[in-house]
Structure 1
Amino acid sequence: MRLKLVSLVIILSGLSACSTTEKPTKTTENLSSANSSSQIQATDAQSLYQLALNRQGVDQIQLLYSARDAAITEQQWPLLEQICTELERTPSVDQVQNKLYIAFAQKQQNKNTAALEILASLDNQLTQPEHFAWHQYLTASVYASQNLPKEAMEYFFRASETASKNNLTIPQLNHDLWHNLQQLSSYALERFNRGSVVQQGWVNLALYHQVYLGAPVELDQAINNWQRRYPGHPAIDVLPKKAAELIAITPLTIERLVVLLPQSGANQRLGDALKAGVLAALDNAAIDETIFIDEMLSPEELTVKLHEAQPSFVIGPLLKGNIDKFAASKTLLDYPVLHLNTADAERQSPQHYYFALNPEHEVQQALEHFLTVGYQKPMLLAPNNSTGQRLVDFFNVQWQRYSETTPEVGLYNDKKDMPTTIISLLEVDKSKERVASVKSLFKQEVESETRSRRDIDVIYILGDAMETRLIKPYLDVNVSTFADRIPLYASSKSHSKQIDSTDKGDLEGLYFTELPWMLSGQIADHSLRQQYNSLWPDQADISQRLFAMAYDSVAMLSNITQLSMIPGKRFNGLTGQLSITSDGQVNRHLDWAQYKDRQIQAVQLQTTAPMPLFMQSATTLSNSE
């Protein structure tokens, strides 16, 4: 917290330096002796602000400046906004600079819409390089604070270019730009590799770090070449420390691996699937020894076995209850661990990671695709149980970040309840009532066609394979023939290799997310799938998914430190494109596929980071001016 406070004071002092209006000189000649005594006693922001309200002219401005500085030191962001609003009433104050202060105060309060509106209103007033550089930096900071690195990057680059060209100093700019740049994938970096020399220098440095990460000699040579190519580049400020850190991230060497999985009890079958995946991956891993231990042991028993094994790394356990149990007993605290599930307990160590086949990953991916395409009114169909309700709630919370519309939700209790739920959501029942009412007015036969509601533009099914096969025909017959067909999407739960071997026709046109391992031709090592099919031709879907998960757990181990430190880095696995978040969670981006002509075909569906509502309103304001 102390370092953060010092950083904020430095940043805002830099912003003060860009003012073109000379501040009143801090001398006792400007104030009476009584006033001087009052100001000395009043050192906190609120007291200085109250004193200023009772003064006029130069005295008042001086006190407001002092109050503003104190508010920054105390991190009193509402008060800072209030002080700057008071300064705004004084014609002699640099109004552009003052508005930049207000925008900063609003950003610190997460009032992002208001901050961007102020910044957008200054677009035509940024005649001074200092103002423009700070404006771009603050705009970038708003986007970066909302985990929108691509949107932030353009503003960061312009701030850096302006500061470099005009020899300006903006504390934290280079650090924040570099941190944001590291959030991007290599593909995104390539798209930014254009424009000014300053921009290309930043991008190429980030690309070198990704390409040569874990190869100290090659990275050192690449950085030396970069320095010769971009002499005097502002990235020099972050280079020495960052280069040393990244050169130190060599691939992880594991001499002895311990794998915790259920080897007894009701979940032994799941443990067998995991063990098969681990053994398959070990063929290509430089691991000297692997020891399998039953995760159903007590913490005391496991502690003894771990002490005997002295593992370099631990994979597991699988069951969430065991993860929480060992967390409570601190059994795994001193070992680097890749858990095979999420945990309710807090992360105990930066060496602990969590890898789960989390359905929320797929829901987020589908939601981002819907927004990219421009769908406005989705309808969700899910089982009326804890899992279905959890996924619906997750979708709704995320959707409200980006859209003012509310998704329609249908929760069904069983297969008998599905037709009623669908008919009610699509308002087909109301159409039938209207048809019946019209027919009652005529003696002759009246030709009619029921109509479904027209505002639903996409349907997302969150049921399992059997439920999806029952839902799809109901949707086909209850969507009005006068309307365009509503696109249908589902998660990987809808896909079953066992069921698909005999029946694909009922799902014609359905899009779904899936592990590459579960789609024919979607993995680089085709021989691995052939070997698996020959050894276990009739394995259940869950066993196949756990095999792929265990395989990826071993395959990604040598890169796990790099993945955790470089957010833009990805690992192409059997379970999807894997990355690691700052809290140690392994995130997955799955493949898309579609049922078409009684076959499953891999498809490429457009997905970009959606624009939050606060950005949409600010963009609209900017475009209207």
Structure 2
Amino acid sequence: MRLKLVGLLIILSGLSACSTTEKPIKKSDNFSSSANALKNQATNAQSIYQLAVNREGADKIQLLYSARDSAISEKNWPLLERIGSDLELTASVDQTQNRLYIAYAQKQQNKNDQSLIILQSLDGQLTQPEHFAWHQFLTASIYASQNFPKKAAPYFFRASETSTKNNIDIPQLDQQLWDNLKQLSSYALERFNRGSVIQQGWVNLALYHQVYAGSGVELDQAINNWRRRYVGHPAGAVLPKQDENFVELAPLNIDRLVLLFPQSGPNERLGDALKAGALAALDKQNINEAIFIDENLSTADIAAKLDQINPDFVVGPLLKANIDKLTAAETLINIPTLHLNTFDGDTISLQHYYFALNPEHEVEQALEHFLAMGYQKPMLLAPENTNGQRLVDFFNQQWQRYSETKPQIGFYENNQDMPKTISSLLEVDQSKERIKTIKALFKQEVESETRSRSDIDVIYILGDAIETRLIKPYLDVNVSTFSERIPLYASSKSHSKQIDSTDKGDLDGLYFTELPWMLNSQITQHNLREQYNLLWPEQADISQRLFAMAYDAVLVINDIRQLSLMPGNKFSGLSGKLSVNSNGHLQRVLDWAQYTNRQIKSVQLKTQRPVPLFMQSASGVKTIN
């Protein structure tokens, strides 16, 4: 929860003021003067806290309260948590309120598991509406911060209902609730369209904004109807600002489009693939003028051309170095732009978006499937290079959010190193050594068969198409016949239309993620694929993927603002199902396919958002050991 200093003071002071059960501290002239005198000696929360530690009785409590207020204003969350723990030892303190303070301090430190445990421990003790409203709000904020909008929604609704009914002021509640609803799909919203009038009012307002997002007139009519139906509803507080934002949701009117692609140098071939995809998409767009500019020109030359053209939108550049260059010079700062790569710096404009064929999207999609299937011990095989290490690190980082087990990792330096890596990871080499020892003890022939380790329950290959075709047979040979077959998965790097056209190899049973464009059975635009194959029958895989990327980039720009303000919405394209996150980066969900009988078959695999460990422990869900 990001709050300005004033907002934080209001929120936490509101929590203090809401208590009606805290026993008042008996004041006397001596008490007031001594406590105030001590407080005046301190300069910050820490020094006030040190004074409190050395005092007793009422003076100590009052100093702890003062230290608590100062810790909030200074955003000193560890100290706020410590003060709450000290106050917990004092019988005269409202412990429900105090534990809400502790939970809040922990949440601000990203100790979400501990904060949830405290909040859940307060169930049944929330007799005061103020306590209940804040409890629900804090719980909802934690779930929302972890990107679980459906889980957060009921808590937000209850906080809104209670605060409205009892006239309790919770700053940021309305805005956070509204931001959370914007993460939900229309289907999810419909399922929440029940219960109290407050809840239905919020849901219907969100549905109106989704249904009529592209029509300003219809949206205005719907909101006017909403106002008449839900007089005095708390959602009215978000309407003025949101109405202004949603005016911008109407499809962009793009009359003049600039496409910044590499048209010279070593990446000219990639630029040609992008240009072909863009031209194919322009046939479906109502854009009067499209101008291609070489992104490898100097910044000054690009700026001069843009000044002359005055475009409504820019697609590109592709190369990260050129994105960095134009960002540093602020060449595109006033032009809506969809860059065709990731960007690691600070975005300089809310009109800038980033679209990359990012392999991390596939890794995350595979991980979510593994967890949905209940796999507990994955093994990853990756080349020992920068890209392989990056993807393994990403998988590890994400996996540790959801599981206490550690994946088995195998890096191979080259093709010759693969058998040794696989044999070692599966502990087949140890089995062979045991067989060799046993045979040495007996003179007669001993029947034997190697055994692989049985705890590995899924294998994920992060190699390219050639490497995958070498790895798969090694896995088939080294997995023990006494064990069940281990499911094998790979990324789109494992799939090559060029190689598959002549040799699919021994890949039977392998699952992989892939762009819909690369899976002919998943493409609804069959004519487009047929035309492409006629024009470029020998195109490299990277060129085909860039064609799909540019095609989607040109088609998605009309609706990109709507996607950015409604993250639950998706655009179905040749490169996958696209959505826009809060940082303006396009996320992709790819299709699943499987090699079956030397053919590729599209499949539907179970995938769902996993539950983080801190939620598992707080909810009593059994974690993996």
Normalising by the smaller structure, the TM-score range is over 0.9
Matched, 1:466 2:438: no
Cα distance in 1, alignment partners of residues 130 and 34 from structure 2: 38
AA partner of residue 91 (structure 1)? A
Shift of 1:551: 0.6
Task: Report what 2:324 is aligned to.
Answer: 324
One-letter code aligned to 1:512: F
Equivalent position SS for 1:440: helix
Alpha-carbon distance in structure 2 between the residues aligned to 1:163 and 1:573: 43
* Same amino acid, percent of matched pairs: 71
Which shows bigger deviation, 391-400 or 117-126? 117-126
1:452: which partner in 2? Answer: 452
Map of 1:199 onto structure 2? 199
Give unpaired runs (5+ residues) of structure 2: none
Give the aligned length: 623
1:303 corresponds in structure 2 to 303
Counterpart for residue 410 of structure 1? 410
Counterpart in 1 of 2:493?
A: 493
Structure 1 partner of 2:212 = 212
1:373 aligns with 2:373: yes
Are the counterparts in 2 of residues 508 and 597 from structure 1 also a CA contact under 8 Å?
Answer: yes
Is 1:387 paired with 2:421? no
Aligned twin of 1:121: 121
**Conserved 8 A contact 1:511-1:594:** yes
Describe the SS at the equivalent of 1:489.
strand
- CA distance in structure 1 between the aligned counterparts of 2:541 and 2:39, rounded to whole angstroms: 74
SS in 2 for 1:257: strand
SS at match of 1:506: coil
Report the Cα distance in structure 2 between the residues aligned to 1:363 and 1:542, rounded to whole angstroms.
19
The alignment partner of 1:91 has SS state of coil
Q: Does the Cα contact within 8 Å between 1:120 and 1:621 map onto a contact in 2? A: no
Residue 449 of structure 1 aligns to a residue in which SS?
A: coil
Q: Which shifted more, 597-606 or 17-26?
A: 17-26
Q: Counterparts in 2 of 1:163-312, with a 5 A limit? A: 163-312=163-312
Question: Counterpart of 1:355?
Answer: 355
Could you tell me how far 1:17 is from its partner in structure 2?
2.8
Structure 2 counterpart of 1:313, one-letter code:
F
1:164-209 Cα distance to aligned partner (Å, 9 max, x none): 4444332221211111221233344344444444333322322221
Residue 595 (structure 2) pairs with residue 574 (structure 1): no
One-letter amino acid matched to 2:49? Y
8 Å Cα contact 2:126/2:132 also seen in 1: yes
Q: Does 1:588 align with 2:593?
A: no
Q: Deviations over 1:283-319 (max 9, x none)?
A: 1112110111122222222222222222111111212
Q: Work out the CA distance in 2 between the residues paired with 1:326 and 1:18.
A: 51
Q: Give CA deviations for 1:133-177 in whole Å, capped at 9, x if unaligned.
A: 221211122222233323322322232233344443322212111
The residue that corresponds to 2:550 in the other structure is 550
Deviation per CA, 1:243-297: give whole Å up to 9, x if none. 2321333211112111111222322221111111111111111211011112222
- CA gap of 1:273–1:33, structure 2 versus 1, over 3 A, is closer
Report the RMSD for the aligned CA atoms in angstroms: 2.4
Contact 1:549 1:574 in 2 (8 A): yes
Give 1:26 deviation, angstroms. Answer: 9.5
- What amino acid is aligned across from residue 70 of structure 1 in structure 2? S
Residues 169/33 of structure 1: CA separation in 2 closer, same or farther (3 Å cut)? closer
1:536 offset after TM fit, Å? Answer: 2.2
Q: 1:320 to 1:503 in 2, by over 3 A?
A: same
AA matched with 1:496? S
Distance 1:420 1:333 in 2: 52
The structure-2 alpha-carbon separation of the partners of 1:346 and 1:175, relative to structure 1 and needing over 3 Å to count, comes to closer
Cα deviation, residue 225, structure 1: 3.1
Q: Retained in 2: the 8 A contact 1:220–1:247?
A: no
Contact 2:23–2:94 under 8 Å retained in 1:
no
> Structure 2: how far apart are the matches of 1:483 and 1:507?
19
Equivalent residue number for residue 16 of structure 2: 16
Q: Contact 1:120–1:622 at 8 Å: present in 2 too?
A: no
Specify the alignment match of 1:130 in structure 2. Answer: 130
Q: Deviations over 1:544-576 (max 9, x none)?
A: 111110011110111122222332222111111
Asked if 1:6 is matched to 2:6, the reply is: yes
Are the equivalent residues in 2 in contact too, given 1:324–1:344 (CA < 8 A)? Answer: no
- Distance in structure 2 (CA, Å) of the matches to 1:456 and 1:350: 45
> 2:130 corresponds to which letter in structure 1?
E
Aligned equivalents of 1:619, 1:124: Cα separation in 2: 16
Unaligned runs of 5+ in 1: none
Q: SS of the counterpart of 2:588? A: strand
CA contact (8 A) 2:497 2:518 kept: yes
Given that residues 30 and 59 in structure 1 are in contact (C-alpha distance below 8 angstroms), is that contact kept between their aligned partners in structure 2?
Answer: no
CA change 1:606–1:161 in 2 (3 A) is farther
- Cα 1:425/1:166, change in 2 over 3 Å: same
Letter of the 1:470 counterpart: L
Structure 1 Cα separation of the partners of residues 599 and 191 of structure 2: 35
Q: CA deviation at 1:529?
A: 2.0
1:97 match: 97
Closer, same or farther in 2 for the Cα pair 1:14/1:281, shift >3 Å?
same
Residue 456 of structure 1, CA deviation: 0.6
In structure 2, C-alpha distance between the alignment counterparts of 1:429 and 1:441, rounded to whole Å: 19
CA change 1:241–1:300 in 2 (3 A) is: closer
Question: What is the Cα deviation at residue 366 of structure 1?
Answer: 0.8
SS in 2 for 1:416: helix
Q: Tell me by how many angstroms 1:459 deviates.
A: 0.4
Which amino acid in 2 is paired with 1:202?
Answer: W
Aligned to 1:139: 139
Counterparts of 1:124 and 1:130, CA distance in 2: 14
TM-score (structure 1 length as normaliser): 0.94
Aligned residue in 1 for 2:85:
85
Distance in 1, matches of 2:412 and 2:455, equals: 21
Name the SS for the 1:314 alignment partner.
Answer: strand
In structure 2, the CA distance between the partners of 1:445 and 1:54, relative to structure 1 (3 Å rule), is closer
Contact 2:35 2:63 (C-alpha < 8 Å) held by counterparts = no
* SS of aligned partner of 2:311: coil
User: Higher mean Cα deviation, 268-277 or 339-348?
Assistant: 339-348
- Give, in angstroms, the shift of residue 485 of structure 1: 0.9
Contact 2:260–2:318 (CA<8 Å) still a contact in 1?
yes
Give, in whole Å, the separation in 2 of the partners of 1:385 and 1:32. Answer: 68
- What SS does structure 1 have at the residue aligned with 2:4? helix
User: Does the 8 Å CA contact 1:263/1:272 hold for their aligned counterparts?
Assistant: yes
1: CA distance, partners of 2:287 / 2:497 = 32
Distance 1:427 1:568 in 2: 44
Partner SS for 2:484: coil
| 1:87-130 deviation line (CA, Å, top 9, x unaligned) | 22222221111111111111112222221221122123223332
Moved more, 209-218 or 453-462: 209-218
Counterpart in the other structure of 2:601: 601
Preserved contact between residue 22 and residue 92 of structure 2 (Cα < 8 Å): no
> 1 CA distance for matches of 2:257 and 2:165?
53
Cα separation, 1, equivalents of 2:250 and 2:561: 9
What SS is found at the alignment partner of 2:288? strand
Q: Which residue of 1 aligns with 2:524?
A: 524
SS of equivalent residue, structure 1 residue 347? coil
Aligned partners of 2:32, 2:414: CA distance in 1, in Å? 82
Q: 1:52, 1:61 within 8 Å by CA — same for their partners in 2?
A: yes
Q: CA deviation at 1:476?
A: 1.1
- Judge conservation of contact 1:270–1:546 (CA < 8 Å) in 2: yes
Partner Cα distance (2:121, 2:30) in 1: 35
TM-score normalised to the size of structure 2? 0.94
